[in-house]
Amino acid sequence: MPRTLRLLFIPLIRSTRSRHNLLLENLALHQQLGVLKRRHPQPRFAMPDKLFWLILRRLWPGWKRALILVQPETVVRWHRAGFKLYWSWLSRHRTRVGRRCVSKDLREIIFRMVAENSTWGAPRIHGELKMLGFDISERTVLRWMQRCPRNPEPAKRWATFLSNHREAIAAMDFFTVPTLTFGVLYCFFVIAHDRRRILHFNVTKHPTSAWVVQQLREAFPFDSVPGYLIFDRGAQFNEEVIETIKSFGIKPKRTSFLSPWQNGVAERWVGNCRRDLLDHVIVLNQQHLKRLVIDYIGYYHGDRTHLALAKGTPGGREAANKSSTHSKVVSMPRLGGLHHRYDLAA
């Protein structure tokens, strides 16, 4: 029985649906004929015409077959434009969500409290703002405290302190150099902060604390010792080395973990040595490396100018007095021609 009813109703439904499609197609063609009648000078779709096709596109799956005057992509473009206008209209009275914006005046107050009270944390500053009637969270206060502009005065005072005490500061460090046979050599050096002079240099394959102690004895003979010696947390600089440093009357100063910038003078010399020399040669063995670096130290002290020394050299190279505009300039090769020194001809 259900199958029989289905056979009877399906043709009826299909006939109704086909009539519905026929009516929609006739309506679409009639609408386009109306557009053709409004020639000035060529048919154009007005806003009601576009709205008609947008609605018809939603109601009738076969709307593309009835299109004559425009392409289906044009109707889709109209639909997208209408979608944009619709949501722009809905958003004309948009309400702001999320965090409330911290005003510029409130940020200035937070920055002022941080500058005037160096020991205050976020809870203390948040409490003061709460007493002033500001509705702000402690987490927001902490976030703006981290963005507070740094006061340059402490850095200037520290730089002044270092410049006033640089004669009493020295630093030591290791750096590695690969060889032709894929071995590794360890270069040890001690550098003075005052004129960036290399006080001692040596090379070894096996850096031990006992070897470092011997190098320190050679670097600081008699009474020529600095007041402070900076070094990192390498395994070679153990308690035996620290006790030896103290026995010389020097105060040892270890850098913090993963803080090479605290030994910046030594790190800068390593970078200069690599860029000026080691990046351009292949080291054969220990004797070859020691000869190369000793030659470089001579060039570094006597010829190479430094920004930190007002364009002077660690060895105190004197500037020439140019008496004539036609003086001849001669070049003298250094480090096998990698670098040159220039002087006026006699």
Instruction: Give the Cα separation of 225 and 249 in Å (integer).
Output: 8
* Residues 191, 281 contacting (CB under 8 angstroms): no
Instruction: Give the Cα separation of 249 and 228 in Å (integer).
Output: 9
Q: Which of 227, 230, 225, 226 is nearest to 254 (CA)?
A: 230
Note the CATH number of domain 165-309.
3.30.420.10
Q: Is the pTM of this model over 0.75?
A: no
| pLDDT at position 45 | 67
| pLDDT at position 96 | 62
For the chain, the residue count is 346
Instruction: Give the Cα separation of 201 and 302 in Å (integer).
Output: 17
* Averages of pLDDT over each 10 residues, the chain, 346 residues: 44 54 69 61 66 70 65 72 78 66 87 85 89 88 87 68 82 95 95 93 95 94 85 93 94 89 92 94 95 95 86 84 71 88 80
- How is the chain split into domains, by residue range? 24-85, 104-149, 165-309
* Residues 56, 28 contacting (CB under 8 angstroms): yes
| pLDDT at position 238 | 93
| pLDDT at position 158 | 61
DSSP code string of 57-99? HHH-TTGGGG--SS-HHHHHHHHHHHHHHHHHHHGGGPPP-SS
| CA-to-CA dists, residue 155 to 147, 158, 323, angstroms | 18, 5, 43
